[in-house]
Structure 1
């Protein structure tokens, strides 16, 4: 397969020249978004509205640029995401839309409507075959995503505690799954508690939608019969007392996520945009965001989501580390180990981000070989 073209512009602006929003507009045009037939077509702009309390999600101003470009080509854009598996501010459509509005996503700010793809309770789903799927035969996808004629991903590229990083594949694959679909992607891993580290704070109980954690005599244990393996408790535990018991779970999440992305994107008009800004170490699903691990890098666009993710990963790994960040602290604590691995591994050593891209290539979704067009 020949190299895919990934178009790139940096975050520099100069007085009297194009601002960042104009640069994004120019990027989309140069990358060829106009080659898609948008006329009278519904175009889903799949993005993350951000959890309440988190401030690293993409600003709605960027979404408006994309929506305006779609309308310029006579398309019908809407911004969409699916409900979350975990307890938070986006677990049903009403709270999800409230969160979107509070975080600035409204028809006035973006020029188009917000639609929660899997409906009120996360059950409005379509069973979509996965071409050549090895782990998922039918993906459970939010209905509105499959009703759309064109798929556009608008992604905040960042670190992630289960998949290494959150890029275009995760945005559409994990983000496009209904609540049941998200369970299917996560369910290979069931966490356990290292009792000596547990302080009985109940943070795990507060974040679990299924009452799996139980606190007894000041210590937590996980009821496996109730646990769906979403890993949310792992992320909120302040003492790292909760760990996966299936150490292949991280890789399996990546493989299933790739197959979900394949189900959504297969044989459909698509375009992918990623912004490497405010590169937080964890997902925007957190109700907080830690300091960025590298400086802002730029905006990228491509018809190939695999090449786009690879290019973003390479740019982040080539960037200087911000000392006052968790990545800076990790590297400082173990500089020899840091030299052997990439920034995403050093953030979350249990993750295997390359397995997702390798599986995407195997599924025929794209290539990891790319050419940057500045």
Structure 2
């Protein structure tokens, strides 16, 4: 049975601005039917990386937070720390980045909480019902503490997943550092010896005595390492890293299983804004030109149908000239595959459907 996906374009005039239009979309799609009264509500989004300007503006987050508050809920904006080195590697830098990009209680009407804590190890192990790749997903604690989960994502391309939509925002985005390692990496972290100065901070944080320092150079015993990623967070020289060596298909399927762990057992709703559709993730410290014209705002209770509808909507647009979508194999009408030909985004949706997260069949309802 097809799921309903609600869509509104980005036309606006003096009678209704875009924030009001998003509110009407949420109401029409049924988000108001959720019991928010006195409930903690996690609004999962991406705060952008310093230097990237494609991320969602704080105004969109405020609209969602206000919707929740008007119904008695207690919303907070949240994300988990990154596995790679950048402006969101630890909880403090992450908050600084959020503030730099305009996310604070004054602009959004709610607090910002980094779900997996300062060092990325404040996590909960959540069983994955029907999981084939992951037995227990490692999810940021604050996200699992919430009574209601709302996904608000910027729909765009992604160099490993093909595109980043609802499922990636939930699955990869809610994973703690160890959870991200489990999805991205088939191995364990290692030390780049040239960068290491032998400060021994990593040895103090390792709970499994897997790291030793000899001749001012650290090394990791993979027979003891459990892949928690704590050492990555504390290394001031960025000398500890991983190989992002998991296959794109396995990565996509693991993301689906992590998303399953996050949404099971509580009310959830999903919103995707198909605007400024950059070819790569908002985790980059830059953003390339949008590949297609802005499409609109989409919402659904079904994250699988939502992602499928957004992919179809993007691929139905003409490519903008002199952009990443205007190059490559012109016969490949899937822009995300055209830009990132080694990716396998459909495997994520197929696996999510198999897990019971939703269906790729959808009915598009325009408001």
* Alpha-carbon shift at residue 66 of structure 1 (Å): 0.2
1:135 counterpart residue number: 133
CA spacing shift, 1:245–1:143, aligned 2, 3 Å: closer
* Alpha-carbon shift at residue 188 of structure 1 (Å): 2.9
For residues 70-113 of structure 1, what are the alpha-carbon distances to aligned partners after superposition, in whole Å with 9 as ceiling and x for unaligned?
Answer: 01110000000000000000001100000000100000000000
Partner of 2:172, secondary structure, is helix
* Alpha-carbon shift at residue 267 of structure 1 (Å): 2.1
Q: Is the 8 A contact 1:51 1:285 kept in 2?
A: yes
- Mapping of 1:1-80 within 5 angstroms? 2-14=1-13, 16-80=14-78
* Alpha-carbon shift at residue 362 of structure 1 (Å): 0.3
* Alpha-carbon shift at residue 213 of structure 1 (Å): 8.8
Matched, 1:365 2:363: no
2:201 counterpart residue number: none
Structure 1 runs (4+) greater than 3 angstroms displaced: 209-215, 223-226
In 2, distance between residues paired with 1:210 and 1:53? 28
- Which structure 1 segments of 5+ residues have no match? 191-208, 216-222, 231-243, 331-336
1:234 counterpart residue number: none
In 2, distance between residues paired with 1:323 and 1:352? 25
- Which structure 2 segments of 5+ residues have no match? 196-218, 230-242
* Alpha-carbon shift at residue 340 of structure 1 (Å): 3.5
What is the TM-score with the length of structure 1 in the denominator?
Answer: 0.83
What is the TM-score with the length of structure 2 in the denominator?
Answer: 0.85
1:157 counterpart residue number: 155
In 2, distance between residues paired with 1:260 and 1:70? 25
CA RMSD of aligned residues (A): 2.2
CA spacing shift, 1:210–1:23, aligned 2, 3 Å: farther
Matched, 1:352 2:337: no
Partner of 2:157, secondary structure, is strand
- Mapping of 1:182-201 within 5 angstroms? 182-188=180-186
For residues 314-333 of structure 1, what are the alpha-carbon distances to aligned partners after superposition, in whole Å with 9 as ceiling and x for unaligned?
Answer: 00011110112122133xxx
In 1, distance between residues paired with 2:281 and 2:358? 24
In 2, distance between residues paired with 1:283 and 1:179? 18
1:111 counterpart residue number: 109
Matched, 1:343 2:342: no
How many residues align structurally? 326
